[in-house]
Amino acid sequence: MTGMAPSSAAMAIECEPMTAATRSDASALLGEFLAADEHYLASSAAYGDGGADALRRALDMFVARPELGFVWIAWARERGRRIAVGACVVCRAISTSRGGIVAKLDDVTIRGGWQGRGVGSAMLEALAGHLRGEGARRIDTACHRENALAWRFYERMGFRPLDEARLAKLI
């Protein structure tokens, strides 16, 4: 299922889950994010970041096991060609508080030069519609405490902070 979302800019953003054919686009966007985002890097040791090999294995799993989740890609047209301008990772979980499927959102990234042009808003609006269509009842995400731009973005998108902190343990 693909989704179109209006953006604040005068461009159309098309969104869809990653496929084997679009895997390299997802890899490029997420690879840049995981290698360079200062807020991700501040916690990457606790996450047990496995670098490019871990990203490759994860993308292979998303293609092979779509029931676990997917990579959502935002596309725009530039000079007549379709280019990937945003991506995020979505995993499915069962929530006892909601009594159904919820989505966990990770690694939200917008290609350099495309931030502030409505891509992130369009991508998450289309994602919410896609997830509603699948029967998901909530989207959960985490945000580094010092990433003020991301906090404001998520709040504009309707996310609300919880009085809890995310913890991780490598096993």
Residue 166 has what pLDDT?
A: 86
Residue 79 lies in a domain: yes
> By C-alpha distance, which of 162, 161, 54 is closest to 107?
54
> By C-alpha distance, which of 140, 34, 122 is closest to 73?
122
Q: What are phi and psi of 140, to 5 degrees?
A: -105, 145
Residue 2 has what pLDDT?
A: 55
Residue 73 lies in a domain: yes
Q: Give the mean pLDDT per block of 10 residues along the chain (171 residues).
A: 48 94 97 93 89 96 97 95 97 96 97 95 98 96 93 96 88 93
Residue 11 has what pLDDT?
A: 72
Residue 162 lies in a domain: no
Residue 167 has what pLDDT?
A: 87
Residue 84 lies in a domain: yes
Here the CATH number for the domain that contains residue 37 is 3.40.630.30
The domain total for the chain is 1
Residue 47 has what pLDDT?
A: 85
> Which residue segment(s) compose the domain that 130 sits in?
3-156
